[in-house]
């Protein structure tokens, strides 16, 4: 398989670094990996923005873990398997729920300020859970509290250094082996070569390929795209989770409204004030996310509305303000008071269940390349992620990636055998409006690969994306916006190809032309790799 790169670069003419381990990303999985690998190896953390800018930082609801004495890992495992709609890897889930408590106890020891009631850790209930097992911090700012705690722990570590504002353009790869990464200094526009004994991908998700998403601007699928170009296997890319409740106001950002709001008793109602989840699922508003999101979609279609409402007005105002201070503050910017006003909401892209296929030790199909967190697919989430399992996934498998990187770091330093890397296609001087293509891409993906899909629409969209690729890939970018666009295009194609292949409805993947779940044929993972298209 011929090596694939986006740039034409003479590696002899760029500065180079040689840490034992290079970690791409700065969220919960990345920093967890760094802390473990740094026990006896030099670690370089590379992130395209500031260290804190990650999906982790914006996570609200909490981290699901069976630390309540009345709870147990087996119950957590069963809830995760049910939500995953038949596609979870039970071994991966068991590792998650059994090792998770130890990882969360480390966070507590490092000073993460989880909320307490009467001196004990407070647990709340979220969709799909049979027990109150979701820990939260600072009310509804759990991700921020964890990220701050992790960064305080890793900053100043003698074996860890950081490259902020450096964009990972491509992995250094040859014959199925990863040697490190080529990064672009966002501020100077200069490239740097980073060779390492182990490379950890922890770049997060791809929500920005959708027009409406809860993800931050940095979530453009970079890790999945660069791994795909390097020859890694991508798994279950059709399973994109839509969070049921994001703020829907004209001109406003699609702000996430945590599921914990419904866990504390908020209702979903239509314009007439009628609860529509009662009778549709035994857990009503606390059904798994795919069920709630599609119920909202169906309610909107039936009434011609652009949104439904989250109603908290029957809850104790002191509870609302004390438990959800950030939500109250955010809504106040739009002159909404959740104790008095219904909140207009609708689903938006939230999380990728699939990603770079990895095993229980974070290994991928590319030697010396590890993956953890949302960028990876270890089999924990199946076809539909259980609420608040994502932070635990980052903790457990980030820790595992760090341990595996540490083992690789004990060996010799491999040297990349090439002096130059070359682009995918010959370059042309194209007058390309990157912002326009990006906006068009996001609209196309939202229409074709959203909550409800069909073969005809996806086929048409994929043909359009394949056509765009001919000239987008023929442009050599030295800007983050241009490089992100190429990665977003690659991820959009991967989602649509995978979704077209799966001719059934399961979990977050719903097809109007194949509405039934077909266990006999499709209770299996989907895989996609670059060599299939060469």
Contact 328, 315 (CB under 8 A): no
Q: Is 420 annotated as catalytic?
A: no
Q: How crowded is residue 178: how many other Cβ atoms within 10 Å of its Cβ?
A: 27
Residues 518, 363: Cα–Cα separation, whole Å: 30
pLDDT tier, 3 (very low <50, low <70, confident <90, very high otherwise):
confident
Q: Which of 347, 381, 396 is the last residue of a domain?
A: 347
Q: Give the C-alpha separation, 41 to 409, whole Å.
A: 6
pLDDT at 507 over 80: yes
User: Do both 40 and 140 map to the same domain?
Assistant: yes
Residue 215 within any structural domain of the chain: yes
**Of 141, 147, 145, 353, nearest in space to 256 by CA:** 141
Q: What is the CATH number of the domain that holds 317?
A: 3.90.700.10
Residue 60 in this model has a pLDDT that exceeds 70: no
Q: Which residues contact 464 (CB under 8 A, 6 or more apart)?
A: 444
Q: Are residues 196 and 249 in the same domain?
A: no
Note the pLDDT of residue 1: 62
Same domain, 199 and 125: yes
Number of domains in the chain: 3
* CA gap 78, 93 in Å, rounded: 9
What integer pLDDT is reported at residue 430 of this predicted model? 67
Residues 272 and 221 placed together within one structural domain of the fold: no
- Shared-domain flag, residues 338 and 366: no
Of the three residues 319, 347, 375, the one that is the final residue of a domain is 347
Closest CA to 123 of 56, 69, 55: 69
Say if residue 317 is in the same domain as residue 447: no
Answer yes or no: do 58 and 103 share one domain: yes
The mean-pLDDT minimum among 225-239, 273-287, 302-316 falls in: 273-287
Helices and strands (DSSP H and E) totals, the chain: 15, 24
What pLDDT is attached to residue 427?
A: 66
Q: 20-31: per-residue pLDDT in tens?
A: 999 999 999 999
The rounded mean pLDDT for the chain is: 92
Could you report the per-residue pLDDT of 84-127, keeping only the tens digit for each?
A: 999 999 999 999 999 999 999 999 999 999 989 888 898 988 87
Averaged pLDDT for residues 159-187? 96
pLDDT value, residue 422: 87
Is pLDDT of 242 > 80?
Answer: yes
Strands (DSSP E) contained in 130-213 are 134-135, 160-163, 166-174, 177-185, 191-195, 198-201
Closest CA to 266 of 334, 318, 313: 313
pLDDT band for position 387 (cuts 50, 70, 90): confident
Say whether both 316 and 368 belong to one domain: no
Would you say residue 281 has pLDDT above 70?
A: yes
Q: CATH number for the domain including 502?
A: 1.20.58.100
DSSP 342: P
d(CA 286, CA 426): 52
Q: What residues contact 407, with CB distance under 8 A and at least 6 apart?
A: none
- Residues 266 and 250: their CA atoms lie apart, in Å, by 23
Q: Residue 374 falls within a domain, yes or no?
A: yes
What is the per-residue pLDDT for 357?
98
Distance in angstroms (rounded) separating the CA atoms of residues 490 and 470 = 12
- 249 burial type by CB count under 10 A (0-12 exposed, 13-18 middle, 19+ buried): middle
The span from the CA of 211 to the CA of 205, in Å, is 15
Please, which pLDDT band fits residue 181 given cuts at 50, 70 and 90? very high
Residue spans of beta strands (DSSP E) within 365-435? 369-371, 376-377, 420-421
Residue 365 has pLDDT above 80, yes or no: yes
Q: What is the mean pLDDT of residues 478-507?
A: 95
What is the per-residue pLDDT for 534? 60
In this predicted structure, the answer to whether residue 33 has a pLDDT above a threshold of 90 is yes
| Per-residue pLDDT reduced to its tens digit, 329-356 | 999 999 999 999 999 999 999 999 999 9
Q: Does residue 386 surpass a pLDDT of 70?
A: yes
State yes or no: pLDDT of 259 exceeds 90. Answer: no
Rounded alpha-carbon distances, angstroms, from residue 403 to 34, 177, 399: 9, 19, 6
Q: Which of 326, 347, 368 is the last residue of a domain?
A: 347
Query: Hey, which bits of 47-128 come out as E strands?
Result: 63-64, 116-117, 120-121, 123-124
Distance CA 427, CA 10 (A): 16
Identify the pLDDT of residue 426. 63
Distance, in Å, from the CA atom of 254 to the CA atom of 246, rounded to the nearest integer, reads 6
Tell me, yes or no, whether 173 lies in a domain.
Answer: yes
Domain span at residue 258?
244-347
The CATH number covering residue 67 comes to 3.50.50.60
Percent of the chain with pLDDT over 70: 97
> What length does the chain have?
534
- State the pLDDT at residue 328: 93
Q: Rounded to an integer, what distance in angstroms lies between the CA atom of residue 254 and that of residue 201?
A: 27
pLDDT in tens, 440-485: 999 999 999 999 999 999 999 999 999 988 878 767 787 899 999 9
Judge contact between 398 and 31, C-beta under 8 A.
yes
| 46-55, 188-197, 402-411, range with the lowest pLDDT | 46-55
Q: How many CB atoms lie within 10 A of CB 200?
A: 33
Please tell me the predicted confidence (pLDDT) of residue 420: 94
Which of the pair, 291 or 58, is modelled with greater confidence? 291
Q: Which of 94, 144, 289, 323 is catalytic?
A: 289
d(CA 38, CA 398): 13
Is 279 found in the same domain as 223?
no
Please, which pLDDT band fits residue 35 given cuts at 50, 70 and 90? very high
pLDDT the model gives residue 139: 73
Residue 175: predicted pLDDT: 94
Q: Which residue, chain included where needed, has tokens 């606390």?
A: 286
The answer to whether residues 65 and 76 touch, using CB atoms and an 8 Å cutoff, is yes
pTM score > 0.85 for this model? yes
Distance CA 377, CA 397 (A): 11
Q: What pLDDT sits at residue 41?
A: 97
Residues 183 and 65 placed together within one structural domain of the fold: yes
Question: What pLDDT is stored for residue 55 in this prediction?
Answer: 66
Q: How many other CB atoms are there within 10 angstroms of residue 516's CB atom?
A: 11
Buried/exposed code over 433-446 (b: 16+ C-beta within 10 A; e: otherwise): ebeebbeebbebbb
Give the pLDDT band of residue 429 (cuts 50, 70, 90). low
């Amino acid at each position: 398989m011929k090596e694939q790169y986006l740039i034409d670069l003479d590696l002899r003419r760029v500065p180079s670094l040689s840490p034992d381990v290079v970690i791409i990303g700065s969220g919960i999985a990345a920093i967890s990996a760094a802390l473990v690998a740094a026990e006896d190896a030099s670690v370089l953390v590379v992130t395209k923005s500031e260290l804190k800018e990650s999906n982790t930082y914006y996570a609200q609801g909490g981290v699901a873990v069976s630390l309540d004495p009345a709870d147990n890992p087996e119950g957590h495992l069963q809830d995760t398997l049910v939500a995953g709609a038949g596609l979870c890897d039970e071994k991966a889930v068991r590792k998650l729920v059994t090792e998770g408590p130890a990882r969360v106890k480390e966070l507590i020891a490092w000073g993460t300020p989880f909320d307490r009631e009467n001196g004990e850790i407070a647990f709340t209930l979220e969709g799909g859970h049979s027990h109150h097992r979701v820990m939260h911090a600072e009310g509804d700012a759990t991700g921020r509290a964890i990220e701050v705690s992790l960064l305080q722990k890793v900053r100043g570590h003698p074996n860890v250094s950081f490259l902020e504002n450096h964009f990972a353009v491509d992995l250094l790869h040859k014959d199925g082996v990863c040697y490190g990464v080529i990064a672009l200094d966002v501020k100077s526009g200069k490239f740097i070569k980073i060779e390492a004994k182990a490379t950890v991908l922890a770049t997060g998700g791809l929500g920005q390929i959708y027009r409406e998403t809860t993800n931050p601007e940095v979530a453009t699928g970079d890790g999945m795209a660069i791994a795909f170009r390097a020859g890694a296997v991508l798994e279950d890319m059709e399973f994109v989770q839509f969070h049921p409740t994001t703020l829907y106001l004209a001109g406003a950002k699609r702000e996430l409204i945590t599921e914990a709001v419904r866990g504390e008793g908020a209702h979903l109602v239509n314009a007439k004030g009628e609860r529509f989840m009662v009778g549709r699922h035994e857990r009503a508003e606390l059904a798994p996310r795919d069920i709630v999101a599609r119920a909202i979609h169906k309610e909107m279609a039936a009434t011609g509305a652009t949104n439904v409402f989250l109603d908290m007005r029957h809850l104790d105002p002191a509870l609302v303000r004390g438990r959800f201070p950030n939500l109250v503050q955010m809504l106040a910017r739009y002159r909404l008071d959740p104790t008095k006003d219904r909140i207009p909401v609708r689903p938006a892209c939230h999380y990728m269940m699939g990603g770079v296929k990895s095993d229980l030790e974070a290994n991928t199909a590319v030697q010396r390349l590890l993956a953890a967190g949302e960028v990876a697919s270890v089999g924990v989430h199946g076809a539909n992620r259980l609420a608040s399992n994502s932070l635990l996934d980052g903790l457990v498998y980030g820790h595992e990636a760090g341990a595996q990187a540490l083992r690789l770091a004990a060996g010799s330093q491999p040297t990349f055998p090439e002096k130059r890397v070359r682009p995918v296609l010959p370059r042309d001087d194209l007058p390309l409006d990157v912002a326009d293509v990006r906006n068009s891409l996001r609209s196309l993906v939202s229409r074709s690969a959203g909550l409800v899909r069909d073969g005809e629409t996806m086929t048409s969209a994929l043909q359009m994306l394949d056509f765009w690729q001919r000239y987008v890939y023929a442009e050599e970018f030295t800007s983050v916006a241009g490089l992100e666009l190429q990665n977003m295009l690659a991820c959009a194609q991967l989602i649509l190809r995978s979704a077209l292949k799966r001719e059934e409805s399961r979990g977050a993947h719903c097809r109007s032309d194949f509405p039934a779940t077909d266990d006999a044929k499709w209770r299996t993972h989907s895989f996609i790799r670059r060599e299939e298209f060469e």
